[in-house]
Amino acid sequence: MTRQTMRFTTARHDLEQAAMLLRDGETVAFPTETVYGLGANALDARAVDKIFKAKGRPSDNPLIVHIAHRDDVHQLVTHIPELARLCMDHFWPGPLTLILPCTDAVPANVTAGLDTVGVRMPDHDTALQVIALAGVPVAAPSANRSGRPSPTTAEHVLEDLSGHIAGVVDGGAAGVGVESTVLDVTGAVPMILRPGGVTREMLEHLLGPVAVDPALGNETIAPKSPGVKYTHYAPRGTMYLVEGEQALVEMQRLVQTADQKVGVLTTDEHKDLFPTAAHVISLGSQDDLATVAARLYDAIRSFDHHEIEVIYAETFPEDGIGLAVMNRLRKAAGHRVILAE
């Protein structure tokens, strides 16, 4: 069913209208410091269902619940381990989602039937205002059609969801550009289920050893975290990652011999190496992975606008936020890798 999607500014009156829609069981997209989220009242199962319908999202993919005040976590979780309290002290508000044991107040469609829930407090004034004005915790996955690149602007949201959601708050471009880190703190050793804006190095500096889920990206296992099971972030064209010592040489050869409309996802240092490509886009400098992360989804979407059929992408070191960048690139490429040794 299509409907008119209202577009709100960040003016107080507009935010109050957006919050009223959330209270009334509607879906509203809003900016966070990571990407735009598609929100609904996390305590209303029927409202949450509208998220799944708008996105075409599989029902076994759990949602993250966003709160405006730290004390709001108590209506969602049964207890808070000491490791979680440390993380809240240091990283909230911020791009860190904590997996915690949930109360019966959280509907099963939020948790995908699990006994845990992901909770975070975003570091974005507009997001915090909308959630606080709504007066309810807000379940909010990325505001895109399932499988598409996550949205970092209101325009991206409308490309995918116009006519399928009640409203979108236009707060400009998101900052971090990749989704929050998801950290499971229910076990003896904290485990990253999805890499994101808070890096493993940052967590280990605070907590000591932090594991990375070995099942990350394994599509045969029911996910404890959003964004780890299904192909995500994908352009309409077929994307390949090109890795290895001869990666740039191989990318040049592939571009020169392509019989399709070809695009290249690369860096400032290498963007001039592909003069015959139909569309070359740089994510920024190899030495600035924060900028690479912030530009990633907009860059992937740009290939669709140019009707690119095949895309060859440069890869990045998996240090710091590079772990999140490569996680998203692998999923965007459907794990298609060309090894050039």
**162 assigned to some structural domain:** yes
Residue ranges in the chain modelled with pLDDT below 70: 1-2, 217-232
Which residue, 212, 247, 279, sits at the end of a domain?
Answer: 212
Question: Rounded to an integer, what distance in angstroms lies between the CA atom of residue 193 and that of residue 98?
Answer: 10
Q: Check residue 215 and give its pLDDT.
A: 76
Question: Rounded to an integer, what distance in angstroms lies between the CA atom of residue 233 and that of residue 199?
Answer: 20
- Close Cβ partners of 326 (under 8 Å, ≥ 6 residues apart): 315, 316, 318
Q: Check residue 60 and give its pLDDT.
A: 84
- Give the residue numbers of the binding site: 34, 57, 61, 66, 116, 120, 140, 142, 150, 180, 194, 233
Q: Check residue 233 and give its pLDDT.
A: 82
| Shared-domain flag, residues 178 and 249 | no
Which residue, 212, 228, 262, sits at the end of a domain?
Answer: 212
CATH number for the domain including 291?
3.40.50.11030
CATH number for the domain including 105?
3.90.870.10
Q: Check residue 252 and give its pLDDT.
A: 98
Q: Check residue 224 and give its pLDDT.
A: 56
Question: Rounded to an integer, what distance in angstroms lies between the CA atom of residue 330 and that of residue 332?
Answer: 5
Question: Rounded to an integer, what distance in angstroms lies between the CA atom of residue 198 and that of residue 91?
Answer: 8
**148 assigned to some structural domain:** yes
The DSSP letter of residue 77 is B
Strand order in the sheet with 337-339: 279-282, 262-266, 310-313, 238-243, 337-339
Q: Check residue 221 and give its pLDDT.
A: 54
Q: Check residue 70 and give its pLDDT.
A: 96
- Give the residue numbers of the binding site for ATP: 57, 61, 116, 150, 194, 233
| Shared-domain flag, residues 250 and 313 | yes
Which residue, 178, 194, 212, sits at the end of a domain?
Answer: 212
- Give the residue numbers of the binding site for L-threonine: 34, 66, 120, 140, 142, 180
Q: Check residue 341 and give its pLDDT.
A: 86
User: What range defines the domain where residue 79 resides?
Assistant: 6-212
For the CA atoms of the chain, what is the radius of gyration? 20
State the chain's maximal CA–CA distance in angstroms: 59
| Shared-domain flag, residues 206 and 279 | no
**304 assigned to some structural domain:** yes
